[in-house]
Each structure stands twice: as structure tokens, then as C-alpha cells.
Amino acid sequence: MLIKRSPNGIELPFSSEITSREVYESRRSFMKQIAAGAIGSAALLEMANREAFAQGVNPKLAAKLNPSYSALDKQTPYKDATSYNNYYEFGTDKSEPAMYANTLKTRPWTVTIEGEVKKPMTLDIDALLKLAPLEERVYRLRCVEGWSMVIPWIGYSFSEIIKKVEPTGNAKYVEFVTLADKKQMPGVGSRVLQWPYTEGLRIDEANHPLALLTLGMYGETLANQNGAPVRMVLPWKYGFKSAKSIVKIRFVKEQPRTSWNLSAPNEYGFYSNVNPEVDHPRWSQASERRIGEDGFLARKRKTLMFNGYADVAPLYAGMDLKKFF
């Protein structure tokens, strides 16, 4: 198994303890003031988050590191992870999401869960934050364009959602629908993709423990350009499979039509597993460049099957992964 764990069972530190962030310093005096009162921890966190939103910074999230699902690779610096992004709703250049995503309003925010489920529901962002204990997981994420990052994400397994809504026997796939608002997202007016952006998984893929419903990164809520306030992170698939700014989740009978597969079906298959043996029609997938660590002229890394997450291999037993790419 290629998922790396902490040696000797030693618990690794939270990302907020090892990542230098001005936001922690700016709230220090505020936290000291409210901590002096006889207020419960949940109320303290809520007050701190309200203060953070008022100051225009990302609130801190309390999440314990899960070493069973945390790669020991060197983490990508926060600055790189939040300034080099694919988020076409805010532009196709890697720098544009960081420049323009400030227009995204992440509160109020609701996610509707519907379709082939016994208990459909609509949850606001605060309910999602409380639905299950938050974990920090350090995942490698590889882009189909040949670059990768290592990011400490915060969330919980999507299986927690599946348990709550109780899918019927007809539910074979899960479809994710994202926000498409021209007022907030300048890129939605372009014809580069069909909007809203949609993605999908087989239900057994969505139920795998690695499939993370993600609400934060680097000890904070998600940065807008990284898919705030809620997204998926699927570390064994190419990055575009991890839908950002989700507003609807549908459990469906038939395989959903996904945005990149509709746009270029010969280049982007439904499964989109990281597979160095299947080249993109326009470039090799055998190697990758780690953002924030390797320079453009540095030797590239060898790409690993399933991005190194061998635990998912049984999901595809007996499948021709060159046909179902």
C-alpha cells in the first residue's frame, strides 16, 4: 500500500502549527479575549469564525490530522497552492482564479442532495461543517496537464453523506453540480465548457474512504480560488474530477455526463484515474512537475499509478483501464 503513514505511530502536527500564516497572528488578541470567558469551545470557534469573516480572512478550522491518509511528501507552500489554479469559472490562466475569485460569495451557501435517496436534504455550509468530525489529510493531487501539489485538506469521507441520505438500490452514480453565476464568475460567460460544471463518480468510488468532502485547507476554510466553500478531493484521479463550489449532489441511475468529457471525449474519460500508461492525446502522462518544489528545468518525477494510492485498485479489478480511461 502506497498511502504513507506517520512513523512509529507518532501523530503529525496540524498544518496550522507548521504553516506560517498571518491570519493566525491577526486573531491572536481576539482569541485571548474570548478564551478568558466561560464559553464552550464550539461557541468560541463560532465567534472566532464570525470575527474572521468580518475581517475578510479565512476562519481557522479545528481538525485532527488523520495519519492513515496523509502523505509524508513535502507540502506545497500555501502561496503556491492558492496562486496556481485551474478554475475556469474565473479564467483559464493559472493566475486568474486568485485575481478574480474574490467576487465569490460563500455565505449563505446551501447544498441540495437529491435523486435516488430515501432522505433527500438541503444543508447549509454550517450544517456540512458539523455533519461529521473534521479531519486533516495530506493528499497528493495531480493535474492532467502534468503538474502536482501536496496539500493538507480538511473535511471528511464522502461516505458520511451517503450514510445520511440512504441511497436506494437504483443509485449507481453520484453527480456533482457546481455554481455557475455570471455575476460572481466572469469565466462562466465563455464557451470553453458547458455550464454549470458537472462531475460524476460511480457510487462505490464515492464511498471509498479516500473520497473527501472538503471544507478547508492549511488549517482554514477553503480559499475561494481553491473551490470554496465545499468541494471534492479525489487524490487518485486527475484534479478536474474534484468538483469545486458544489451546490447540488444527485444520486442517479445512469452515468452522468461530465463537463470535460462533453467538451473533449477523446481526451477526458469519465474515470480519469491517474494512469501513467495512458497518454493524453497531446502529451505523455508518465512524469509530473511538483509545484513549489521543482523548477521548470528540474528533473520531473515519475508518475505513479493511481497517483500512488494503491488502495483504490480493487475498484477497477477486471477493467481495461486504457478503454475506461
Per DSSP (E only), the strands in 95-245 are: 110-115, 121-124, 135-142, 147-157, 173-178, 198-202, 212-217, 220-221, 231-233
CATH of the domain at 171: 3.90.420.10
The answer to whether position 57 is within a domain reads no
DSSP state of 237: B
Residue 15 domain-assigned (yes or no): no
Asked if the structure places residue 26 within a domain, the reply is: no
Cβ partners under 8 Å of residue 5, min gap 6: 67, 68, 70, 72
Q: According to the model, what pLDDT value does residue 279 have? A: 96
pLDDT at 57: 73
* pLDDT 10s digits, 57-98: 789 999 999 999 999 999 999 999 999 999 999 999 999 999
Cell numbers describing residue 276: 501513467
Residue 40, pLDDT score = 54
| Tens-digit pLDDT string for the chain (325 aa) | 444 443 333 334 444 444 444 443 444 444 444 445 545 544 544 444 444 444 457 899 999 999 999 999 999 999 999 999 999 999 999 999 999 999 999 999 999 999 999 999 999 999 999 999 999 999 999 999 999 999 999 999 999 999 999 999 999 999 999 999 999 999 998 999 999 999 999 999 999 999 999 999 999 999 999 999 999 999 999 999 999 999 999 999 999 999 999 999 999 999 999 999 999 999 999 999 999 886 666 778 999 999 999 999 999 999 999 999 9
The pairing of beta strand 220-221 with beta strand 246-252: unpaired
d(CA 144, CA 242): 12
Q: How far apart are CA 90 and CA 82, in angstroms?
A: 13
Nearest to 24 by CA among 65, 53, 52: 52
161, part of any domain: yes
Is the residue at 273 inside a domain?
yes
In whole angstroms, give the CA distance from residue 194 to residue 214. Answer: 24
Domain extent at residue 220: 62-316
> What confidence tens digit (pLDDT) does each residue in 3-51 have?
444 333 333 444 444 444 444 344 444 444 444 554 554 454 444 444 4
Is residue 132 included in any domain, yes or no?
yes
Give the total number of structural domains in the chain: 1
The answer as to whether 118 is a domain residue is: yes
- Assess if residue 85 is contained within a domain: yes
Residue 25 CB: number of other CB atoms within 10 A? Answer: 9
